Structure 1
């Protein structure tokens, strides 16, 4: 099957505070190669795990992590899809519960309301993956239409799929939405 042409389509990449976030330049490059216009959003703690200057250089846009003031111009074009990777325990639980206390989580809640295709890739410690709140939150997000790429049976060191796999999953989800519409 031929990959879809995503030329000019807007992809938000939401990064949380986990070591895998340091690899976001690879994800951005893969997405751009597929024709996506990429915009990066980070949780406040996620900023500590990413190379903001490098991501801004790659995307030609600011990395956002804070709410804009009411008189500030809107900074992001409407999204056609979203990847949340790595998604932490905290972000997954707040997002599923509708606790929009950060720009990133508020944006994710809105994207769900707009019906934008979303792929979430949780990355967390094994003990947190076993926490009952996490399981409920993943189930709730899936029920709301979020594609959660997480295998609880995988060993912790293998839970984060490659960026290539994340992009394959995004294209599959977007393709599925297009064939349904």
Structure 2
């Protein structure tokens, strides 16, 4: 197996409103070191958890959390892959149901239609993980080709995998998608 290419393409990192979003700035350099051009999108609540100025600096682009207004230029290049981490109960359920009431969920619904490899990493409390809608919607997203990295039986402090583990899983998702093409 050869070395990884210098440029892997455009990676959207979508962060939702959960405590792990405060550390998403650790994921950006890992993705960049793997050759990705990173663009960060947050849900409205996710924006409250992340360090927007730091992410702007790291990516060289602004963090987006709202739909653009008519007449504003399109700002995101097409994605080659997407990481949704942390993905909340609300985002998983709205995304699977096609309820695009936030820019982040609308973007996820749209990129699925282009066949872009997507890795979702839910982070939620155990009672929410046991909700029938969550399990059904995770299965729905998986049916649509989304890789979901989630262990409902993991202890609370271990539910969110490391950013390094997430990058390993992304490599696997992208490799599998490209082998099918």
Same fold (TM > 0.5)? yes
Distance of 1:102 and 1:85 partners within structure 2: 16
1:67 aligns with 2:60: no
Instruction: Give the aligned CA root-mean-square deviation in angstroms.
Output: 1.1
TM-superposition CA deviations, 1:111-153 (whole Å, max 9, x none): 1111000000000011100111100110000000000000112
Query: Would you say the 8 A contact 1:8–1:35 is kept in 2?
Result: yes
Q: TM-score, normalised by structure 2?
A: 0.97
Aligned to 2:7: 7
Query: Would you say the 8 A contact 1:10–1:79 is kept in 2?
Result: yes
Report how many residues are paired: 181
Structure 1 unaligned segments of length 5 or more: list them.
none
Query: Would you say the 8 A contact 1:4–1:171 is kept in 2?
Result: no
Q: TM-score, normalised by structure 1?
A: 0.97
Distance of 1:3 and 1:94 partners within structure 2: 38
Query: Would you say the 8 A contact 1:3–1:171 is kept in 2?
Result: no
The structure-2 alpha-carbon separation of the partners of 1:92 and 1:51, relative to structure 1 and needing over 3 Å to count, comes to same
Query: Would you say the 8 A contact 1:56–1:62 is kept in 2?
Result: yes
Cα deviation, residue 2, structure 1: 4.8
1:170 aligns with 2:179: no
TM-superposition CA deviations, 1:144-169 (whole Å, max 9, x none): 00000001121222110000000000
